[in-house]
């Protein structure tokens, strides 16, 4: 058994600040290990009765300060304006559909499309419920923005988003971000929350060494 028999699974949510902080780490892990397939799936954070105006989550500003301190990410002025105004509604269902549509256009670039969504929200203050946000991301990523709009209305894409939630639940991903490595016989959690790149690389190296010794 070799590293080629592994796969990485990243469970995230577009409206999760810790996922935003983790974005550079997951991209670097992917770039360091191109030989290991990476699947990116939406977990669903602000769903059901949690789809509320951002002012209903008063812990977010302090959490963002900690995220910045630990990861170095910056939150844009437009996003800070949303926090201060307070009425913006975070709807992870809409974001999961948008991500599924983007992913369907370029599956191999899913982790970069996820980062583009995070930039749109956390820097530009763009709504991830607005189709124009995804059209612009698509164009900026060299994809067909008009096809993107079409896919947002495709029932198959909505089904994919729901399937992501189901898969995340089956994997036991109860908080985001969660990074897992799947072998032929087990699923191992590598990183969650504020895990460091060094820590994740160390764990992954240990897993790879173990399976190569089989």
Cα(116)–Cα(148) distance, integer angstroms: 14
**DSSP track, 105-123:** H-GGGHHHHHHHHHHHHHT
Position 72 scores a pLDDT of: 93
Regions in the chain scoring below 50 on pLDDT: 1
SS3 39: strand
pLDDT of residue 208: 86
Look at residues 97, 112, 114 and name the one whose alpha carbon lies nearest to residue 152: 97
Asked if 179 contacts 10 with a C-beta cutoff of 8 angstroms, the reply is yes
Residue-level pLDDT at 2: 55
Query: Which sign does the torsion angle of CA 134, 136, 140, 146 carry?
Result: positive
């Amino acid at each position: 058994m070799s590293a080629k028999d592994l796969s990485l699974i990243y469970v995230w949510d577009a409206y999760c600040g810790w996922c935003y902080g983790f974005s550079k780490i997951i991209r670097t892990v992917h770039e360091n290990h191109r030989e290991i397939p990476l699947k990116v799936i939406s977990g669903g954070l602000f769903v059901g009765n949690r789809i509320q105006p951002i002012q209903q989550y008063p812990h977010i500003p302090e959490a963002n300060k900690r995220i910045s301190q630990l990861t170095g990410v910056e939150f844009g002025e437009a996003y800070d304006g949303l926090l201060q105004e307070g009425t913006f509604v975070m709807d992870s269902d809409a974001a999961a559909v948008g991500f599924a549509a983007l992913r369907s256009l370029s599956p191999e670039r899913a982790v970069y499309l996820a980062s583009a969504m995070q930039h749109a929200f956390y820097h530009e203050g763009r709504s991830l419920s607005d189709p124009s946000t995804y059209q612009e991301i698509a164009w900026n990523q060299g994809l067909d923005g008009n096809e993107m709009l079409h896919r947002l209305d495709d029932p198959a894409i909505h089904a994919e988003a729901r399937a992501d939630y189901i898969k995340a639940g089956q994997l036991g991903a109860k908080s985001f971000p969660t990074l897992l490595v799947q072998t032929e016989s087990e699923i191992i959690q590598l990183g969650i929350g504020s895990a460091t790149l060094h820590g994740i690389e160390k764990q992954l190296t240990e897993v790879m060494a173990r399976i190569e010794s089989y």
